[in-house]
Amino acid sequence: MLSRDADSCFWIGRYIERAEATARMIDVHYHFRLESAWLSEPMRWSSILSISGDLEEYQLRYADEDERTIIQFFVFDTTNYNSILSCIRAARENARAIREQISSEMWQCINTTYLDLREWSVERVYERSPHSFFQWVKDASHLFQGIANRTLMMGESRDFLDAGRFLERAGQTARILDVRYHDLMRLAEETNSRAQTPAGAEEIVNVHGWIALLKSVGAYEAYRKTFHEGVTPARVAAFLILNPSFPASVRHSIGRVEGCLRRISGNREPTPSNAAERAVGRLYSELTYLTPDEMIARELHLFLGHLQAQCNEIGSAIAATYLQY
């Protein structure tokens, strides 16, 4: 397979996943704000700017952190390279460049999604209810993935597409957890230190906050099935990072990336055959053998930073091995 085509597949996977992650994050944040609106210190919009790493960028361009502007920024602003529209457009551009490699159904799906998305605006999102809009974005991503599963030949293009998708997913999960964890801990502290807190405030932060976090990565129901006891920060972190079966956990995603890379190289030996396999294999064994207690003991923020750095390294190693030489 042409390296450039592999590169396009890899990035289509990443962009579509990124668009979906953004949609989930804003959707959940939007609803959590509604629930926590009566707190004296409600969840701020700026926290999701930190998740996406766009805080500075945003503040350069916009004065207010009002909801509409935020939605404009995350969904429609084409000068924001991570906005949903930018991601879908970039995915489409990549798909257009390799139309003959992917199935025509995949192209049609991504093309139609892009054309439809261009018809939306912030006004229309409010008119139709934000939730249904974000649901539509998620559906589009799932539809694309489903079509890819159903119509794209098993082989390198599919493995690069999946490698991109799962690597992006691992990174997104680590990032959301990192920022949210930090926010919720801060909120909890503020709520506790105040002499008079409104009744139920603690519950909102300590329970609903974590539920919202689970929902934002689509993990709430899966979590419930796994843990029958309550929602605690440590359990949530352990679930999202180390659970082997949940499709958006970091461990599961990295395992999938490794599977893709092994299929691409055809390497069946336990030892890695190139830099990309080495990077992904190292992270996967770390996540496989780590216990939740050990992880919490390592200071979560630092550990999540380490995970994100590892994901970046895997991305660079894949590029150097296969895509740009």
Partner 1 sequence: MGLCDDYQTEGFYDEMFAADGTPRPHYEPLYRTLQGMRVEEFQARCELAELTLIHQGITFTVYGDERGIEKPFPLDLIPRIVPAHEWEHIERGLTQRVRALNLFLQDVYHDQKICRDGVIPRELVVNAAHYRREFQGARVPHDIYVHICGTDLVRDRDGTYRVLEDNCRTPSGVSYMLESRLILMRVFPTLFRQNAVRPIDHYTTLLLENLRELAPPDRHDPTVALLTPGVYNSAYFEHSFLAQQMGIELVEGRDLFVNENMVYMKTTRGPQRVDVLYRRVDDDFLDPVTFRPDSALGVPGLVNAYRAGNIGLANGIGTGVADDKVIYAYVPKMIEYYLAESPVLPNVETYLAWRPDDLKYIVEHIDQMVVKAANESGGYGMLIGPQASRAECREFAEKIKADPRNYIAQPLVALSRCPCFVDGRLEGRHVDLRPYVLCGKEIRVVPGGLTRVALRRGSYVVNSSQGGGSKDTWVLRNGGEEEGASAMQQAMPRAGGAMSQSQRGRASSPRTGGAPC
Q: Tell me if 3 contacts partner 1 by CB under 8 A.
A: yes
In the complex, least distance from residue 112 CB atom to partner 1, rounded to whole angstroms: 6
* Burial environment of residue 98 by CB neighbours within 10 A (0 to 12, 13 to 18, 19 or more): buried
Measuring CA to CA, which residue among 138, 145, 136, 159 is closest to residue 109? 145
CA 80 distance to own-chain centroid: 17
In eight-state DSSP terms, residue 91 is: H
Q: Tell me if 316 contacts partner 1 by CB under 8 A.
A: no
Measuring CA to CA, which residue among 75, 66, 63 is closest to residue 124? 75
Quickly list H helices, 243-299.
Answer: 250-265, 275-289, 292-297
One of 40, 46, 59, 108 touching partner 1 (CB under 8 A): 108
Residues 110-129 that bind partner 1 (CB under 8 A): 111-112, 115
Q: Tell me if 290 contacts partner 1 by CB under 8 A.
A: no
Q: Which is nearer to partner 1, 148 or 212 (CB)?
A: 148
Applying CB under 8 A, the span of 3-11, 14-22, 74-82, 210-218 interacting with partner 1 comes to 3-11
207 Rama sector, left if φ>0, alpha if ψ -120 to 50, beta otherwise: alpha
Contact 283, 254 (CB under 8 A): yes
Applying CB under 8 A, the span of 20-28, 108-116, 127-135, 182-190 interacting with partner 1 comes to 108-116
In the complex, least distance from residue 77 CB atom to partner 1, rounded to whole angstroms: 18
Instruction: State the Cα–Cα distance between residues 70 and 76, nearest whole angstrom.
Output: 10
Q: Which is nearer to partner 1, 238 or 318 (CB)?
A: 318
In the complex, least distance from residue 98 CB atom to partner 1, rounded to whole angstroms: 8
Residue position matching structure tokens 């359990």: 235
What is the residue type of 264? I
Applying CB under 8 A, the span of 81-89, 95-103, 223-231, 294-302 interacting with partner 1 comes to 95-103
Q: Tell me if 15 contacts partner 1 by CB under 8 A.
A: no
Site string for partner 1, 235-274 (x = CB under 8 A): -----------------------------x----------
Instruction: State the Cα–Cα distance between residues 72 and 212, nearest whole angstrom.
Output: 22
Q: Tell me if 289 contacts partner 1 by CB under 8 A.
A: no
CA 115 distance to own-chain centroid: 23
**Residue numbers at the binding site for partner 1 (CB under 8 A):** 1-6, 93, 96-101, 104-105, 107-108, 111-112, 115, 156, 160, 264, 322-323, 325
